[in-house]
Amino acid sequence: MKFSRLEYTPKDIVFGFSKKFLRYGIDLEVGNGLVVPEIKYFPRVEKNVMEEYKHITEQLLKRAVALGTESLQLETELTYLEMEDKKLVAELINLQKSMIERYAKEHGLHVGYRVTVADIRDFGKPRHDEESFNKMMEIFELASSNGADVLSIESEGGKELFNYSIIRQDLTGIVSSLGYLATFDMKRLWKNIVSIAKNKSILAGGDSACAFANTAMKIAGGLKDNMIPHSLASIVRVMSACRSLIAFEEGATGPGKDCAYENVYLKVITGCPMSMEGKSSAVAHSSLVGNIIAATCDLWSNEQVENIKLFGGYGPEVFLEILHYDTKLMNMAIAGGQQYCLRDLMIKSDKLLNPQAFVLSPDIVYEISKVIVGEKDELSRTVASAIKAIELMSNEEKLNLSKGEKRFIEMAKRKLEEIYSSPSQKVEKALEQYVGKVEKLRVKDYLEA
């Protein structure tokens, strides 16, 4: 389906509430008036992986009971190494789900379990590594058969061109990657994931443009040490929303994947619940959007923390406690009818400090999302949404933009408007030039998949 209207206005979107709220897992409700912590963890590489997952899960569930956390979601994000052994994947997912079921029965917990499959493809291989694609689909099948409630991925179609382009601040290459190549890959990928989820009566959660927008965010750095303009990272974030929306157009239902900061766009457009991460994900990476992204979350995540020993316990259980108190505050605000007040404070604390936060503010998201749903195809909406973001940044006098940032967005606007005049023609011509320059770029394989 193609979304043609918006589900939310800036006034009514808020954390804990989604028009298409979900019930799944063991009596878990997401988006129905409660923000749920989603804890994400990583085993120590030098340890036995099954023992690690058993230890992590046990400690998390014990800490949840000790804190009085009644609702939570666990997320296992599979690595390349684990996906080499399909039997291991099935066993570790089954192990965790069995432990979740036991604790839920004994302590009355409401629990969901997300499994994120790694994108292990080598896009330089013929047909974009069909063997690895098939293995990924097998892993999705195994995950859904052994206890997963939600399926997700951080897919990387178009990443080879994006990597080449982002360090060169090449807008044509970035548009070609996110608005053209990635769309072909997303459609194929999510058609298959949604089919698997439906066959197993579980949820196709959503994708994340982590490999694109989060890469740009990381390269942009902090306020003083940026390698690329923050306004460029902001434009990439907006473009990434157009790409990640394809999962929902193919039938995904959410909850959206936590590291997709673009999820605020997807919530405004689809009305589906979204997982998000911000200040409590500082364990994995730094950002300038730690509060504003919480303003519209339904699940609240820590990103990923290794199972290392800290004074307060092991990493995952410590961060579950941090998430517990974050969500406890949001839920208390809901209970007292103060959710919009807290939401507005979260927004105001970040919005004008940096353009990356600015484009995640619900009022700005709303204006850009109107452009996204009004365009006729994926490429056009990718370019048009970026132009709209630049227009809104340029018109906000209080937004913290240096002279260099202002020069960049003036240049970017001219370039994007040039592309928008005939997007397909411009991109297809550009791709002919990138082939041979960009390692592993096989444009024909995207078109023929």
pLDDT of res. 46: 87
pLDDT of res. 193: 98
pLDDT of res. 1: 87
- pLDDT at residue 43 greater than cutoff 80: yes
In the numeric block, the tokens 């992590």 are attached to 56
Q: What is the pLDDT of residues 240-286, one digit of tens each?
A: 999 999 999 999 999 999 999 999 999 999 999 999 999 999 999 99
Q: How many domains does the chain have?
A: 1
Rounded to a whole number, what is the largest CA-CA distance in the chain? 62
pLDDT of res. 225: 79
> Does residue 396 belong to any structural domain of this protein?
yes
> Does residue 7 belong to any structural domain of this protein?
no
What is the spatial distance between Cα 276 and Cα 34, in angstroms, rounded to a whole number? Answer: 14
pLDDT of res. 7: 98
> Does residue 91 belong to any structural domain of this protein?
yes
Mean pLDDT, the chain, as a whole number? 97
Decide: 73 and 299 in contact? Cβ < 8 Å.
yes
Residue of 148, 71, 150, 153 lying closest to 109 (CA atoms): 71
**Helical spans, DSSP H, in 13-128:** 49-67, 80-83, 86-107
> Does residue 12 belong to any structural domain of this protein?
no
Contacts of 433 (CB under 8 A, 6+ apart): none
pLDDT of res. 449: 76
> Does residue 6 belong to any structural domain of this protein?
no
What's the whole-number mean pLDDT along residues 162-166? 98
> Does residue 4 belong to any structural domain of this protein?
no
Q: Which domain holds residue 427?
A: 17-448
pLDDT of res. 45: 87
> Does residue 2 belong to any structural domain of this protein?
no
What's the whole-number mean pLDDT along residues 295-318? 98
What is the spatial distance between Cα 208 and Cα 186, in angstroms, rounded to a whole number? Answer: 11
pLDDT of res. 226: 82
14 by DSSP, 3-state: which?
coil
CATH number assigned to the domain comprising residue 54: 3.20.20
What's the whole-number mean pLDDT along residues 378-397? 98
Q: What is the pLDDT of residues 185-228, one digit of tens each?
A: 999 999 999 999 999 999 999 999 999 999 999 999 999 878 99
> Does residue 141 belong to any structural domain of this protein?
yes
